[in-house]
Amino acid sequence: MKHKKVFTLTTSLQMNHEDQARLDFKPVPDLEIVRATQEDANTIKEFYQGIGENHLWVDRRGWEIDDFEMQIAQERTIIWLARLKGRPIGFLEAYHYPDNRIQIIFLGILDQYSGRGIGKHLLSHGISSAWQRRPSKMIVHTRSYDGEHALNNYVKRGFQITKVRPQIIAVPPAMQETITKLIITAKRRGVYPSFAKRLEARLRQCFLGRSARWIFHNVMKSNSP
């Protein structure tokens, strides 16, 4: 079976100054955020495969434990684990580039723990710790198959949308059953429903004046298996 090409909208966001951050550390009982070590490589791999399965994370599908250990060991890699009552339930990975930008690469929480404020707490911690490194700016890219609250979380924490662009993802055969579920879910909730008006102008730039609803309808229809 060949790789399936899937359409997505990628939204790029940026934070230029620390004072733009709007952190939210509302207490979550029994939650702790700790820096990942190489001993956590198996946990990170399980998160990448488990959480990422639902969001079409494809870049590291072929990685072995050794690959994750090497990634964690890199000086410029920053990975935070969220633990609830001692159990790992999510992670945030960031990378400090040589040009002094810091990018949030991954942010994911196990589905059964969503809706408790853990994601915004973890993101706030990641932002706060990143600015302690004095970067020139922080950036993040989120796609239309990411979590339902992903874009909302980034904007509420102080990131500003800088670009929306269409992209094609090559999805390996092992993940193609997931595509059907994601398309059904996306059809139910729409593409970033709470930000439809805000994104309208940028989407039109990408699609020659078409409305966001037109894009959503036709893109999802064309991606249907």
C-beta separation of 128 from 120 below 8 A = no
pLDDT-based confidence at 4, cuts 50/70/90? low
Asked if 182 and 170 touch (Cβ cutoff 8 Å), the reply is no
Contact 109, 51 (CB under 8 A): yes
Q: What is the DSSP letter of 115?
A: T
Structure tokens at 180: 């059907």
d(CA 200, CA 224): 23
Q: Which residue has the higher pLDDT, 211 or 2?
A: 2
Enter the CATH code of domain 4-223. 3.40.630.30
Over the stretch 63-94, which tens digit does the pLDDT of each residue have?
A: 899 999 999 999 999 999 999 999 999 999 99
**Residue 151 identity (one-letter amino acid):** L
Residue-range domain boundaries for the chain: 4-223
Encode pLDDT of 124-172 as tens digits.
999 999 999 999 999 999 987 787 788 889 999 999 988 888 777 766 6
DSSP 70-86: HHHHSTTEEEEEEEETT
Over residues 18-35, the mean pLDDT reads 94
